[in-house]
Structure 1
Amino acid sequence: MKYLKEKSYTLFYKTTVSVTLLLAYSVGAASQEIDAPVKVTAYVGVVHPIVTYASGDFTPNFKDRYVVGMPTGINIRRDGHLGFSLEMVPYISVQHGKSRMSNFLFHPGALFPLGKGFTFIGRAAFETSGRFGFTPVLSKVITKGHSGNLFLAVPVPIRFGNEHTASVTAAFQFGFIF
């Protein structure tokens, strides 16, 4: 069993490194071929996990405890083209009247603009809880303003590791891009 765990961690590590290098190479190659200026944006937001499915059970966020995350990130891309995003998310958990920081998520990924304000973001996920995985996200700019844009997103975190069964969570995120 220990051999299988080590092999899965090794496979995940090699896959993550390969995808990151491929993404960096793709963004670098694209930047040399396209004359559009690079656009760097930052954002802040709030993410609410709604329900998690693991081991055949659904666990709602609001039943026995409440967890909320505060994503902060930087996006680098050229208008209308593939981009890179780096997101960091501290999570706060409130249970039995006590609150604490329960987890920190390092969340690099690639931005794929879909048009009409929609963006697909594919993210790798590394948590201080010992869990890892990936997060597909569908994001939509809902209001454009002079100072920035408001957006809504639906992340679907998929996690493995730390001697827990695999889990899938549905979440809701909103924030401000400036």
Structure 2
Amino acid sequence: MFLKHAFFIAILFSSLSAFAQSAYPKITGYFGIMHPIVTVNKDETTVNFRDYYAVGFPTGINIWKNEKIGFSFEMVPNIKDDQGTSKVTGLLFHPGVLVALGKGYTFAGRAAFESNGRYGFTPVFNKTIIKNNSCSYYVAVPLPVRFGNDHPASFTVGFQFGIAF
């Protein structure tokens, strides 16, 4: 039921975005690929591409109130391949506040609620690298901090790239 509502909201916002591009609020959407690089907690350090392969697909809608501040609604399905077995490991609900820092840089301060029982926050530093009339391409460094579900607190450094429209 929740996903049906989220899908309806996404369709509504994307249809409204054609009318909101020249004035605020401004609505944009995006899709990316996120690779966690290294994760540390009090018990261990794990490295993506060496110990396993994990990838996330952040998909979201940004609603800019003005040129400096906005709100972002993001969902991230995560997939992990460990010793030849791959599966969806969870779905991340990732709402947050956007702050334009100038010169193509943006800071996103996100709350994090994972379907696997973990929760926390994610500061994200984003840079638009190519911008044209129909879309832009970006790179980002997400820094997830997670708690809960009988696991020690963890900190991850990731790398993300994607397209915004």
Could you list the structure 1 runs, at least 4 aligned residues long, displaced by more than 4 angstroms after superposition: none
Matching of residue 49 in structure 1 with residue 36 in structure 2: yes
Find 1:163's aligned residue among 139, 150, 154.
Answer: 150
Q: TM-score if structure 1 supplies the norm length?
A: 0.78
Pairwise CA distance, 1:139 = 0.3
Find 2:77's aligned residue among 57, 78, 90.
Answer: 90
Aligned residue for 1:121? 108
Counterpart CA distance in 1 for 2:154 and 2:86 is 23
Counterpart CA distance in 2 for 1:55 and 1:99 is 26
Counterpart CA distance in 2 for 1:173 and 1:150 is 11
RMSD: 1.1
Matching of residue 130 in structure 1 with residue 124 in structure 2: no
Find 1:103's aligned residue among 76, 86, 90.
Answer: 90
Counterpart CA distance in 2 for 1:167 and 1:37 is 37
Counterpart CA distance in 2 for 1:88 and 1:37 is 24
For 1:54, give the aligned amino acid.
N
Structure 2 runs not aligned, ≥5 long:
1-22
Find 2:60's aligned residue among 56, 73, 93.
Answer: 73
Aligned residues: 143
For 1:150, give the aligned amino acid.
Y
For 2:93, give the aligned amino acid.
F
Pairwise CA distance, 1:64 = 2.4
Pairwise CA distance, 1:62 = 1.6
Counterpart CA distance in 2 for 1:107 and 1:92 is 16
Find 1:153's aligned residue among 129, 140, 160.
Answer: 140
SS at match of 2:107: strand
Structure having the higher helix fraction is 1
Pairwise CA distance, 1:146 = 2.6
Counterpart CA distance in 2 for 1:51 and 1:62 is 9
Q: TM-score if structure 2 supplies the norm length?
A: 0.83
Counterpart CA distance in 2 for 1:56 and 1:100 is 24
Counterpart CA distance in 1 for 2:81 and 2:44 is 21
Counterpart CA distance in 1 for 2:51 and 2:44 is 15
Conserved? CA contact 2:80–2:89, under 8 Å: yes
Conserved? CA contact 2:123–2:144, under 8 Å: yes
Aligned residue for 1:63? 50
Query: What is the CA deviation profile of residues 95-137 of structure 1, one whole-angstrom value per residue up to 9, with x for unaligned ones?
Result: 2222111111000000000000000000000001100000000
Conserved? CA contact 2:68–2:101, under 8 Å: no
SS at match of 1:105: strand
Query: What is the CA deviation profile of residues 64-106 of structure 1, one whole-angstrom value per residue up to 9, with x for unaligned ones?
Result: 2100000100000144221000110000111222211111100
Counterpart CA distance in 2 for 1:79 and 1:147 is 20
